[in-house]
């Protein structure tokens, strides 16, 4: 039985979409000629290639039964991404200690049944480790505490 | 913005973090008393808008090292590279104008203000001191047989647009220098861009190029070994590393180009703090030991005070603008 | 020969003074530390150490900086093996089989193989520098833009070979990587491409945040998912040391990897990345049973680790002998020498014999030190990854974030890493391997630059790629390799490997 949606058709569609998107977003770039290529020559070549490869992979996925789409578990994916983004948002205005706390709290949501309070102690330990290695050991110019706390 | 707080150098962080971890109150008290003291009373951040390890970084780390003693406070280099130097400069320009955040500005900033809509205009920076020039040198492959600028001009006119010159990307100091040279010599050459001076020099040695316009320290040893021939230096005088290479002026062409660097503070910095920074930095740059050390690393230090720096930079701005205009690179703001 | 021995003796006399030994040790330790910490690289570390070296005697300064450099190469493979985090571009390939071994409870063996292969490569490369530095270096001068295009194409074909599973997907991932590599300011015209007005994209998409997202973060996501599905991660009890069979398989691979590393490492821009990919592909082609690759084949660690270490150290050859730094870190070394008034170049060996031979000798001593330091550490590392994963993964995330931030001191790099993590998760779910994408990302800009330059120099004549002997040979070799991969019989074999 042919399934329209499998790992090959999905991957093919993704590649083709990126290729098409690249062609569209780069439509104003100057392509030029072989002896004087513009900034668009190689990008157009690559996007066209990506579009064709994507279409080929998609067609291949239709012809033979590729592996079905795997189950996606969004909980850990979103929690990890949120942790990284929280760290990025907190680091410069609030300092590295607050950023680690924010990241740890978000990351804790990745695993069911972990209470937020229980991650505080390991997070503080991690913060101490980070201060020891990066700030004092390697002398990275990182802000440690929020400015209003440190004056 | 984050900029000012970068000034809390590693050591300040260390002090604060230690204090904070033990007891928060003493840290606040300490910080309070710090503010009452004379400027500078805390570490100064020197933003280098180029990656660690480049020529600018090496130069500024030497300055920071030497200036720390004269300031009585550590001067800490923070690399904020990106977008041809505009990211680091934007950070300096938008930092709290309290004198604790300064930055290095180089030739590329003149170009960026016209080309990149996100870049700051030069008027957003308050120049403090001029560090020095890195003059461009025109070098050819020996197989071309060219020995003087006159011969170079003759060869370029015989084959318009055919002589291949290695340089950096449009807007880069070497590309701008090559473009200015084209105008001054009234010739047309094929400017081939390379990512960095080392690959440019390599391409000259491999015979892919006829000439290169790079800074002297990058090519001097190949000139000495005979693998390349430097025919003219675009400085006001000969370079100490290769005193046998005549200047363009000596060959009858009034042409000066290259990379220059100055140190600036954000607009709005109080005049007394600008004065303090200017005089301490100028002392640093005029120190004999410092000049010697910088010379060994290939830098020509020609310190200028604030007023002279402003004059010098606006003259460069005037000279380069027509080049950008002609190349169609003026997009962000017109002059 | 006698002259060489005398020179080496000079070198060792310089290198074994207590000060220089201490500097070498300091450099190696620091290098290992920044190598193990994801994202922190040797370039920034060497730059930060520069002012310290002002006050040192030049040979000692260089010995320490060189120690940081090759120390980081050792350290980089540690995180690649333990937690699938390539901190350096050269350890991307080490992730493939190294982390597979770690999952099978053989992390100790993988780390030991990596360390020993690196030691062997370091020793041979040091000898090569001593014996034929200037002669080897001059090969790099034969290369023009068209030849670089051919080298890069060979590297990309190697990435197709190393992928298992669909060839079409591997090629698509490479093309996607090249496309991502084109984001940013165009070198030739100065135009912005695909930056959408975002400052952080003006200089392009950085390798490190993408690599750490695609490999490291998506690995964390997949691990957490596996935990959610089956309770806890199945962990086998670790056996610390490689078996005799491991060593037998790894030895010839190490030799081949070393030679490949030296040959490719002296080219500008090549560094240690192309050698590691090429060495892995070569082993996979030579193996009687290529199916083992990607599932914990020791050759898949030994060859690329040897190749990247050889490639990294071979970078000293053009730097010392020609004064042409092939990468950023060698440019820093040139800077460090010039601060002391030493101009690297053909004359350096004659004019500064203590410096040249002292550095050569200290490189060997440093490699030995690193193995002595690292082998006892293996037990510690292995115990570290036996910590409960719910404690370990927030630490991995935080270390990644700080490492990526430290590259440019910019939070935008962390955001790029987060996006790469999400994309990596989706792509891996669709059976698309991230390694070819990363190679495309590294080589894409170099490919475009040289491709355009070659055609600009030839006046648009594509025959330049086949009329230049170096280019023609390398392209022919790539074509043969590609044909083998695409041969239906081979493809069927690859299809069968898929579950």
Digit-coded pLDDT (tens) for C24-34? 998 888 888 87
Q: Is B207 on the interface with C (CB under 8 A)?
A: yes
Q: Using the predicted structure, report yes or no on whether residue B12 has a pLDDT greater than 50.
A: no
Query: What's the pLDDT at C353?
Result: 80
pLDDT band at C288 (very low <50, low <70, confident <90, very high): confident
CA distances from B21 to B199, B251, B287, C341 (A): 49, 67, 41, 45
Q: Which residue has the higher pLDDT, C347 or B19?
A: C347
Across the interface, whether the CB atoms of B82 and C141 are under 8 A apart is answered: no
Across the interface, whether the CB atoms of C217 and A84 are under 8 A apart is answered: yes
pLDDT band at A90 (very low <50, low <70, confident <90, very high): very high
What is the distance, to the nearest Å, from the Cα of residue B287 to the centroid of all Cα atoms in its chain? 20
Closest partner residue to B198 (CB to CB) among C197, C324, C345 is C324
B266 three-state secondary structure: strand
Across the interface, whether the CB atoms of A138 and C186 are under 8 A apart is answered: no
Query: What's the pLDDT at C303?
Result: 93
Tell me which chain C residues have a C-beta less than 8 angstroms from the C-beta of A29.
191, 193
Chain C: closest CA distance from residue B252 (Å): 31
C260-274 pLDDT tens trace: 888 877 765 556 777
> Are the C-beta atoms of residues B297 and B66 closer than 8 Å to each other?
no
Q: Is the peptide bond before C472 cis (omega within 30 degrees of 0)?
A: no
Chain A: closest CA distance from residue C191 (Å): 7
Window 351-390 of C: residues touching A by CB (8 A cutoff) are 390
User: What letter would DSSP give residue B227?
Assistant: S
> Are the C-beta atoms of residues B121 and B95 closer than 8 Å to each other?
no
> Are the C-beta atoms of residues A87 and C401 closer than 8 Å to each other?
yes
Q: Using the predicted structure, report yes or no on whether residue B8 has a pLDDT greater than 70.
A: no
Window 21-80 of C: residues touching B by CB (8 A cutoff) are 43-44, 46-48, 50-51, 54
CA dihedral C161→C165→C170→C172, nearest 10 degrees, is 150
The whole-number average pLDDT for the span C97-109 is 86
Query: What's the pLDDT at C184?
Result: 87
Query: What's the pLDDT at A1?
Result: 43
Chain A: closest CA distance from residue C363 (Å): 23
B165 three-state secondary structure: strand
Rounded to whole angstroms, how far apart are CA atoms B50 and C111?
36
Which chains form contacts with chain A, at 3 or more CB pairs under 8 Å?
B, C
Closest partner residue to B20 (CB to CB) among A135, A142, A150 is A150
Q: Is C426 on the interface with A (CB under 8 A)?
A: yes
The whole-number average pLDDT for the span A51-78 is 87
The whole-number average pLDDT for the span B101-109 is 92
Q: Using the predicted structure, report yes or no on whether residue A25 has a pLDDT greater than 60.
A: yes
Helices H / strands E in chain B, number of each: 13, 9
CA distances from C2 to A132, B89, C9 (A): 50, 56, 10
Across the interface, whether the CB atoms of C394 and A91 are under 8 A apart is answered: no
> ipTM for the complex?
0.92
C480-490 pLDDT tens trace: 888 877 775 45
> Are the C-beta atoms of residues C158 and C164 closer than 8 Å to each other?
no
What is the distance, to the nearest Å, from the Cα of residue B200 to the centroid of all Cα atoms in its chain? 19
* Nearest C-alpha neighbor of C86 from the set C404, C391, C406: C404
Which residue has tokens 């910490």?
C37
List the Cα angle B276/B280/B286 in 5-degree steps: 145
Q: Which residue has the higher pLDDT, C291 or A49?
A: A49
Tell me which chain C residues have a C-beta less than 8 angstroms from the C-beta of B64.
51
Nearest CA in chain B to A137: B10
Q: Which residue has the higher pLDDT, B48 or C435?
A: B48
Window 155-184 of C: residues touching A by CB (8 A cutoff) are 166, 168-169, 171-172, 175-176, 178-179, 182
In chain C, % of residues over pLDDT 90: 13
Q: Using the predicted structure, report yes or no on whether residue C299 has a pLDDT greater than 70.
A: yes
* Residue ranges of chain A whose CB lies within 8 Å of a chain B CB: 92-93, 131, 135-136, 139-145, 147, 149-151
Mean residue pLDDT of chain B comes to 84
Q: Which residue has the higher pLDDT, A102 or B11?
A: A102
Choice among A19-33, A106-120, B195-209, C312-326 with the minimum mean pLDDT: C312-326
Chain C: closest CA distance from residue A84 (Å): 6
Query: What's the pLDDT at B31?
Result: 41
Q: Where in chain B is CATH 3.40.190.150?
A: 2-133+259-326
Mean residue pLDDT of chain C comes to 81
Query: What's the pLDDT at C235?
Result: 52
Phi, psi values for residue A133, rounded to 5°: -80, -55
Q: Is B10 on the interface with C (CB under 8 A)?
A: no
Phi, psi values for residue B192, rounded to 5°: -100, 120
pLDDT band at B30 (very low <50, low <70, confident <90, very high): very low
Q: Using the predicted structure, report yes or no on whether residue B64 has a pLDDT greater than 90.
A: yes
* Nearest C-alpha neighbor of C443 from the set C107, C126, C160: C160
pLDDT band at B6 (very low <50, low <70, confident <90, very high): very low
Query: What's the pLDDT at C232?
Result: 44
Closest partner residue to A50 (CB to CB) among C179, C432, C458 is C179
**Which of the given ranges, A5-9, B300-304, C62-66, C377-381, has the highest pLDDT on average?**
B300-304
Confidence (pTM) = 0.79
Rounded to whole angstroms, how far apart are CA atoms A139 and B103?
20
Q: What count of CB pairs under 8 Å joins B to C?
A: 140
Q: Is B27 on the interface with A (CB under 8 A)?
A: yes
Query: What's the pLDDT at B277?
Result: 95
B85-99 pLDDT tens trace: 888 898 899 888 999
Q: Is B35 on the interface with A (CB under 8 A)?
A: yes
The whole-number average pLDDT for the span B102-116 is 89
Q: Using the predicted structure, report yes or no on whether residue B11 has a pLDDT greater than 60.
A: no
Query: What's the pLDDT at B36?
Result: 44
Across the interface, whether the CB atoms of C144 and B203 are under 8 A apart is answered: yes
Q: Is C392 on the interface with A (CB under 8 A)?
A: no
* Nearest C-alpha neighbor of C450 from the set C139, C143, C140: C143
Query: What's the pLDDT at C491?
Result: 52
Chain A: closest CA distance from residue C476 (Å): 22
Burial of C350 (0-12, 13-18, 19+ CB in 10 A): exposed
Cβ atoms within 10 Å of B147's Cβ, excluding its own: 12
Q: Which residue has the higher pLDDT, C216 or B286?
A: B286
Q: Is A128 on the interface with C (CB under 8 A)?
A: no
Across the interface, whether the CB atoms of B32 and A150 are under 8 A apart is answered: no
Q: Using the predicted structure, report yes or no on whether residue B19 has a pLDDT greater than 70.
A: no
Which one of C149, C192, C452, C453 makes the best mutation probe of the A interface by having the most chain A beta carbons within 10 Å? C452
* Nearest C-alpha neighbor of C143 from the set C482, C450, C378: C450
Window 271-300 of B: residues touching C by CB (8 A cutoff) are 293, 296-298
Q: Using the predicted structure, report yes or no on whether residue B250 has a pLDDT greater than 80.
A: yes
Q: Where in chain B is CATH 3.40.190.10?
A: 134-251
What superfamily does domain B134-251 belong to in CATH? Periplasmic binding protein-like II (3.40.190.10)
**Which of the given ranges, B68-72, C44-48, C78-82, C383-387, has the highest pLDDT on average?**
B68-72
Tell me which chain A residues have a C-beta less than 8 angstroms from the C-beta of C406.
134, 140
Choice among B168-177, C126-135, C338-347 with the minimum mean pLDDT: C338-347
The helix (H) or strand (E) run that includes residue B135 is strand B125-140
Choice among B13-17, B129-133, B319-323, C94-98 with the minimum mean pLDDT: B13-17
Window 470-499 of C: residues touching A by CB (8 A cutoff) are 498-499
Q: Is C197 on the interface with B (CB under 8 A)?
A: yes
Tell me which chain A residues have a C-beta less than 8 angstroms from the C-beta of B48.
none
Q: Using the predicted structure, report yes or no on whether residue C426 has a pLDDT greater than 90.
A: yes
Query: What's the pLDDT at C498?
Result: 47
Tell me which chain B residues have a C-beta less than 8 angstroms from the C-beta of A151.
27-28, 30-32, 34-35
pLDDT band at C87 (very low <50, low <70, confident <90, very high): low
Q: Using the predicted structure, report yes or no on whether residue C370 has a pLDDT greater than 90.
A: no
Q: Using the predicted structure, report yes or no on whether residue C497 has a pLDDT greater than 80.
A: no
Across the interface, whether the CB atoms of A41 and C452 are under 8 A apart is answered: yes
Which one of B2, B12, B13 makes the best mutation probe of the A interface by having the most chain A beta carbons within 10 Å? B13
The whole-number average pLDDT for the span B169-189 is 88
pLDDT band at A151 (very low <50, low <70, confident <90, very high): very low
List the Cα angle A135/C44/C385 in 5-degree steps: 60
Measured distance between the N- and C-terminal CA atoms of chain A, rounded to whole angstroms: 68
Q: Is C45 on the interface with A (CB under 8 A)?
A: yes
The whole-number average pLDDT for the span C281-302 is 85
Query: What's the pLDDT at B244?
Result: 95
C187-234 pLDDT tens trace: 777 778 898 888 788 878 888 888 888 888 888 898 888 776 554 444
Closest partner residue to B195 (CB to CB) among C44, C187, C341 is C187
Across the interface, whether the CB atoms of B9 and A135 are under 8 A apart is answered: no
DSSP secondary structure of A41-87? HHHHHHHHHHHHHHHHHHHHHHHTTPPBPPP--HHHHHHHHHHHHHH
Chain A: closest CA distance from residue B100 (Å): 14
Query: What's the pLDDT at B7?
Result: 37
pLDDT band at B43 (very low <50, low <70, confident <90, very high): confident
Window 55-94 of B: residues touching A by CB (8 A cutoff) are 76, 78
Nearest CA in chain C to A118: C391
- Give CATH for domain B2-133+259-326: 3.40.190.150
What is the distance, to the nearest Å, from the Cα of residue C52 to the centroid of all Cα atoms in its chain? 27
Q: Using the predicted structure, report yes or no on whether residue A99 has a pLDDT greater than 70.
A: yes
Q: Is B51 on the interface with C (CB under 8 A)?
A: yes
Nearest CA in chain A to C30: A138
Query: What's the pLDDT at C137?
Result: 66
Query: What's the pLDDT at C269?
Result: 57
Tell me which chain B residues have a C-beta less than 8 angstroms from the C-beta of C341.
296
Nearest CA in chain A to B43: A141
């Amino acid at each position: 039985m042919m399934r329209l949606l499998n790992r090959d058709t999905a991957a093919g569609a993704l590649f083709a979409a990126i290729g098409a998107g690249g062609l569209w977003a780069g439509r104003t770039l100057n392509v030029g000629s072989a002896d004087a290529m513009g900034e668009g020559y190689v990008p157009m070549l690559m996007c066209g290639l990506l579009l064709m490869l994507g279409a080929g992979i998609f067609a291949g996925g239709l012809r033979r039964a590729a592996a079905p789409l795997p189950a996606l578990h969004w909980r850990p994916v979103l929690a990890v991404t949120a942790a990284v983004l929280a760290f990025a948002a907190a680091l410069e205005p609030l300092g590295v200690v607050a950023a680690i706390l924010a990241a740890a709290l978000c990351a804790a949501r990745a695993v069911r049944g972990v209470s937020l309070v229980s991650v505080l102690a390991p997070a503080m330990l991690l913060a101490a480790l980070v201060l020891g290695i990066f700030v004092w050991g390697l002398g990275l110019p990182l802000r440690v505490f929020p400015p209003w706390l440190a004056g | 913005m984050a900029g000012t707080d970068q000034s809390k150098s590693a050591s300040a962080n260390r002090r604060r973090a230690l204090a904070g971890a033990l007891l928060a109150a003493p840290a606040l008290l300490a910080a309070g008393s710090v503010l009452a003291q004379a400027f500078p009373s805390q570490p100064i951040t020197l933003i280098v808008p180029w990656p660690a390890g480049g020529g600018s970084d090496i130069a500024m780390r030497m300055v920071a090292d030497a200036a720390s003693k004269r300031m009585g406070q550590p001067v800490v280099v923070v690399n904020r590279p990106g977008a041809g130097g505009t990211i680091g400069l934007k950070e300096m320009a938008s930092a709290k104008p309290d004198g604790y955040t300064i930055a290095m500005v180089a030739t590329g900033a003149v170009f960026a203000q016209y080309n990149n809509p996100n870049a700051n205009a030069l008027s957003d920076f308050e120049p403090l001191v001029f560090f020095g020039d890195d003059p461009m040198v025109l070098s050819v492959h020996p197989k071309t047989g060219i020995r003087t600028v006159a011969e170079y001009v003759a060869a370029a006119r015989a084959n318009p647009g055919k002589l291949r010159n290695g340089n950096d990307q449009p807007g880069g100091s070497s590309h701008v220098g090559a473009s200015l040279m084209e105008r001054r010599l009234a010739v047309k050459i094929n400017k081939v861009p390379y990512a960095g001076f080392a690959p440019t020099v390599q391409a000259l040695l491999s015979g892919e190029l006829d000439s290169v316009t790079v800074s002297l320290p990058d090519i001097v040893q190949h000139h000495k070994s005979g693998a390349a021939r430097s025919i003219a230096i675009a400085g006001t005088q000969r370079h100490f590393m290769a005193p046998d290479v005549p200047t363009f002026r000596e060959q009858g062409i009034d042409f000066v180009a290259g990379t220059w660097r100055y140190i600036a503070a954000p607009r709005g910095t109080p005049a007394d703090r600008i004065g303090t920074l200017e005089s301490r930095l100028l002392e640093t740059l005029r120190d004999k030991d410092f000049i010697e050390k910088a010379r060994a690393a290939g830098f020509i230090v020609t310190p200028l005070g604030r007023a002279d720096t402003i004059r010098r930079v606006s003259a460069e701005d005037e000279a380069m603008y027509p080049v950008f205009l002609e190349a169609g690179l003026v997009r962000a703001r017109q002059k | 020969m006698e002259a060489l021995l005398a020179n080496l003796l000079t070198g060792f006399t310089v290198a074994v003074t207590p000060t220089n030994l201490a500097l070498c040790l300091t450099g190696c330790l620091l290098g290992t530390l920044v190598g193990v910490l994801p994202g922190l690289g040797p370039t920034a570390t060497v730059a930060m150490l520069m002012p310290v070296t002002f006050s040192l005697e030049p040979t000692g300064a260089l010995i320490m900086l060189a120690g940081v450099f090759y120390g980081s190469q050792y350290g980089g493979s540690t995180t690649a093996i333990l937690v699938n985090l390539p901190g350096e571009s050269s350890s991307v390939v080490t992730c493939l089989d190294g982390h597979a071994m770690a999952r099978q409870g053989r992390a100790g063996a993988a780390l030991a193989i990596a360390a020993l292969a690196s030691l062997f490569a370091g020793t041979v490369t040091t000898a090569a520098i001593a014996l034929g530095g200037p002669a080897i270096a001059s090969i790099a001068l034969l290369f023009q833009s068209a030849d670089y295009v051919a080298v890069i194409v060979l590297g990309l074909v190697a990435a197709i070979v190393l992928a298992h599973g669909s060839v079409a997907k591997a090629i698509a991932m490479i093309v996607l990587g090249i496309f991502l590599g084109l984001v940013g300011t165009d070198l030739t015209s100065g135009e912005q491409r695909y930056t959408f007005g975002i400052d952080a994209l003006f200089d392009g998409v950085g390798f490190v945040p993408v690599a750490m997202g695609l490999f490291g973060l998506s690995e964390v996501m997949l691990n957490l998912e596996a935990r959610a599905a089956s309770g806890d991660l199945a962990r086998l009890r670790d056996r610390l040391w490689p078996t005799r069979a491991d060593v037998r398989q790894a030895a010839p691979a190490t030799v081949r990897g070393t030679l490949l590393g030296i040959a490719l490492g002296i080219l500008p821009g090549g560094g240690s990345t192309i050698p590691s990919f090429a060495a892995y592909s070569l082993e996979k082609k030579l193996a009687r049973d290529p199916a083992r690759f990607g599932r914990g084949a020791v050759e898949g660690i030994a060859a690329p680790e040897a190749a990247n270490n050889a490639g990294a150290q071979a970078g000293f050859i053009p730097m010392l002998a020609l004064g042409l730094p092939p990468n950023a870190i060698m440019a820093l070394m040139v800077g460090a020498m010039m601060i002391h008034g030493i101009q690297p170049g053909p004359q350096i060996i004659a004019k500064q014999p203590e410096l040249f031979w002292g550095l050569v000798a200290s490189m060997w001593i440093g490699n030995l030190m690193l193995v002595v330091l690292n082998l006892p550490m293996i037990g510690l590392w292995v115990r570290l990854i036996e910590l409960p994963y719910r404690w370990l993964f927030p630490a991995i995330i935080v270390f990644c974030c700080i490492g990526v931030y430290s590259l440019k001191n910019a939070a935008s790099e962390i955001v790029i890493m987060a996006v790469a993590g999400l994309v990596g998760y989706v792509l891996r779910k669709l059976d698309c391997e991230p390694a070819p994408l990363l190679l495309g990302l590294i080589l894409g800009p170099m490919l475009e630059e040289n491709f355009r330059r070659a055609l600009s120099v030839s006046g648009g004549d594509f025959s330049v790629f086949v009329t230049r002997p170096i280019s023609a040979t390398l392209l022919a070799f790539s074509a043969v390799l590609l044909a083998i991969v695409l041969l239906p019989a081979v493809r069927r074999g690859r299809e069968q490997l898929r579950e």
